Structure 1
Amino acid sequence: MAEVTLVEIEKTFRGKTTVISNLDLEIEDGSFTVLVGPSGCGKSTLLRMIAGLETVTRGAISIGGHDVTTAEPSDRDIAMVFQSYALYPHMTVARNIDFGMRLAKIPAQERQAKVDEAAKLLNLEDLLERKPAELSGGQRQRVAIGRAIVRNPGVFLFDEPLSNLDAALRNRMRVELAELHQRLDTTMVYVTHDQIEAMTLADRIVVLNAGKVEQVGAPMELYQRPETLFVAGFIGSPKMNLITGAVAEAYGAETLGIRPEHIEVGHDRGEWRGRVRVVEKLGSDAFAYVDSEEVGALTVRLPGDVDIRSGDILELTPRHELLHPFDQQGLRLPDDAVANARAIA
């Protein structure tokens, strides 16, 4: 295992386009850290710099206490799993997994033992003699992970490894990756644009925006207490309701956030009133998309069996202790800001 430390990292392409700017980050030994953010935020570039596949314009990277800023990828004690499986089509699963070990001239008996161990860990034991064309997408990705495991690295790097899979396979592979981390207890750094993947896999999330770190923390910490307006709008599905105008100002904020599940619904009396535009039923949950004269468009989370239809009028009351106030710069206001504003009002 190994910790990863990045100090004042900057990445500029062609001397003029800066994609990572003065970034500091500590990735703890043994953690499952997910780098998440929208397309173009710099997350894959950052991962590739850790791997040694991109040069660092300025700053330093260390892995396990060793400076690897200018080291070759092979000297960094890492193994990387890419979005594409990059398997050799003419080789069996077993040959694909042990390919790197054969290049390193590791003895056959040791190679076989490592392949068998990885196959057992990844439920590939019955597939070792198959070719990649005979495998499902999830099985191919497990082979790619097996090829990384046999290297016994200090750090695993994953670059959007599930994006080519369908929804059902992605869900299953998320569980398998989480279980794999528990069994290996090794540092893993995982890149995704999917905040649901980030929330379900990580013990620590790094939210990136335009090459800078917006917030670092445990999944529920980011969900329950976003420090910036960007994190508030990015983490959570469906997204947090973000309210501006007179209602936000009444609470002492430029923007006021409230999650869909933190709005109480009634038919008789509420703080806001809204007309249901659409109801989306998803089984255990339902989401009502509501237009309110006071606050604009809102998403409200309800029980799946709720008897609400398009056109219904709802009385809505936010849970005041769960409101998220932000200032003009998009930074979170102190926790007592909402209570103080209500007391003054």
Structure 2
Amino acid sequence: MAEVTLVEVEKTFRGKTTVIPNLNLQIEDGSFTVLVGPSGCGKSTLLRMIAGLETVTRGAISIGGRDVTTAEPSDRDIAMVFQSYALYPHMTVARNIDFGMRLAKVPAEERRAKVAEAARLLNLEELLERKPAELSGGQRQRVAIGRAIVRNPGVFLFDEPLSNLDAALRNRMRVELAELHQRLDATMVYVTHDQVEAMTLADCIVVMNAGQIEQVGTPMALYQRPETLFVAGFIGSPKMNLIEGDVAKAYGATTLGIRPEHLEVSHEAGEWRTQVRVVEMLGADAFAYVDSEATGPLTVRLPGDAEVRSGDVLHLTPRHELLHAFGNDGRRLPDEALAKPQASMA
């Protein structure tokens, strides 16, 4: 078992600046849990505390039921993969992967077997005699992951491992990481500021903001039912439309949320009259960025072959059952609190 439990964990720097106040989190054994949030939200600090690279000011951390709050990183049954690959340039791929085992005086035959298995899992078998300078960025990152795999840890920790890669390579590496998790069935904790990465990789997402947890849940639970305005605006690409003013008040909310794909579009009539500013064509989909006197700017998801151009007038009607209502405190209102307006706000 390699569940990770944080109980009332707090991190304060120099006794003055509290970056993580009183945080509680349960990371299930075998899960792929992603910590996501904007820069400076505390996600990397939290990961480093789990790894033992940052001390805990207050609270407790356990891994696999064992208290590791004050344990050295080497005694925590974890392996960490960083944003930088940190490979030894003068060593071959095979030597980079087995370097930690050689330091630990693991027998040569066992080392060779573990390197061979890691290379098979990561499609590095043809590259074992190459040096890092001869590898692509994605291949180097796989070597760094291989170095973690051979340790056979209870928990893998990833700190923005794909941020140095170009977009196409990031997409491919996301698939490879998801497949690796399925093969290893290991607990993985992954930090990113990219919510698309979080949505595509995770079976559990922890959304962080200013050192605190906004919401924990599956990707679709967060997408379909955000509990706070922050989560509503952070999860989803493009982000949820958030509407204030008279339109929101008509529905009994301070802020009204609607996803771009949950707006019904007509050229003749609808609840909100809008004018198209720009249409972004993406092949299967198109996104129309529109303005409305009632709602302000909105984003609308359309079929890729939709006949819509800049300057067109579109009438939009939100799907009532898919609206999200938030109160003054930025928290989600109960579904029964969502009123249906008596008159069009167009």
Describe the superposition over 1:120-179 as per-residue Cα deviations: whole angstroms up to 9, x where unpaired: 000000000000000000000000000000000000000000000000000000000000
SS at 1:268 equivalent: coil
Is the aligned partner of 1:323 residue 2:323?
yes
- 2:257 aligns to what? 257
Distance 1:67 1:344, change over 3 A: farther
Q: SS in structure 2 opposite 1:269?
A: coil
Tell me the SS of whatever aligns to 2:139.
helix
Deviation at 1:85, TM superposition (A): 0.1
Q: Deviations over 1:173-210 (max 9, x none)?
A: 00000000000000000000000000000000000000
Q: Which residue of 1 aligns with 2:70?
A: 70
Task: Give the equivalent residue in structure 2 for 1:93.
Answer: 93
2:93 is the alignment partner of 1:82: no
> Separation in 1 of the partners of 2:342 and 2:2?
50
Query: Which residue of the partner structure matches residue 188 of structure 1?
Result: 188
Secondary structure of the 1:296 match is coil
User: SS at the partner of 2:174?
Assistant: helix
Shift of 1:342: 4.0
1:314 aligns with 2:295: no
Tell me: CA distance 1:294–1:344, structure 2 relative to 1, closer, same or farther (3 Å): closer
Q: Which residue of 2 aligns with 1:207?
A: 207
SS in 2 for 1:126: helix
Distance in 2, matches of 1:32 and 1:336, equals 34
> Which whole-Å deviations, capped at 9, do the CAs of 1:260-279 have from their partners, x for residues lacking one?
00001001110000000000
The one-letter code of the counterpart of 2:106 is I
Q: How does 1:219-230 map to 2 (within 5 A)?
A: 219-230=219-230
Aligned to 2:53: 53
Is residue 2:243 matched to residue 1:239? Answer: no
In structure 1, distance between residues paired with 2:299 and 2:245: 18
Deviations 1:319-343 (A, max 9, x none): 01000000000000001222x4547
CA separation of 1:326/1:2 partners in 2, compared to 1, >3 Å: closer, same or farther? same
| Equivalent residues in 2 for 1:256-275, closer than 5 Å | 256-275=256-275
- Any residues of structure 2 matched to 1:5-16 within 5 Å, and which? 5-16=5-16
d(CA) in 1 for partners of 2:232, 2:109 = 53
Matches within 5 A, 1:80-229: 80-229=80-229
Structure 1 residue matching 2:98: 3-state secondary structure:
helix
Runs (4+) of structure 1 moved beyond 3 Å? 340-345
Using structure 2 for the length normalisation, give the TM-score: 0.98
Q: What TM-score results when the alignment is normalised by the length of structure 1?
A: 0.99
Unaligned runs of 5+ in 1: none
Q: Which moved more, 1:139-148 or 1:10-19?
A: 10-19
Once the two structures are superposed, residues 275-327 of structure 1 have per-residue CA deviations (whole angstroms, 9 ceiling, x without a partner) of 00000000010000000011000000000111100000001100010000000
CA distance in 2, matches of 1:197, 1:10: 27
Instruction: Please give the secondary structure, in 1, of the residue aligned with 2:289.
Output: strand
After superposition, give the CA deviation of every residue in 1:210-258 in whole Å (9 maximum; x if it has no partner): 0000000000000000000000000000010000000000000000000
Distance 2:219 2:130 in 1: 39
Q: What do you get for the CA RMSD once the two structures are aligned? A: 1.1
Number of equivalences: 344
Q: In structure 2, what is the Cα distance between the partners aligned to 1:341 and 1:72?
A: 57
Instruction: State the 1:344 CA deviation.
Output: 11
User: 1 CA distance for matches of 2:311 and 2:324?
Assistant: 29
Aligned to 1:27: 27
Deviations 1:80-103, CA, capped at 9 Å, x for gaps: 000000000000000000000000
Unaligned runs of 5+ in 2: none
Percent sequence identity over aligned pairs: 85
Paired with 2:120 and 2:312, the residues of 1 have a C-alpha distance of 55
Question: Matched residue of 1:328: which SS?
Answer: coil
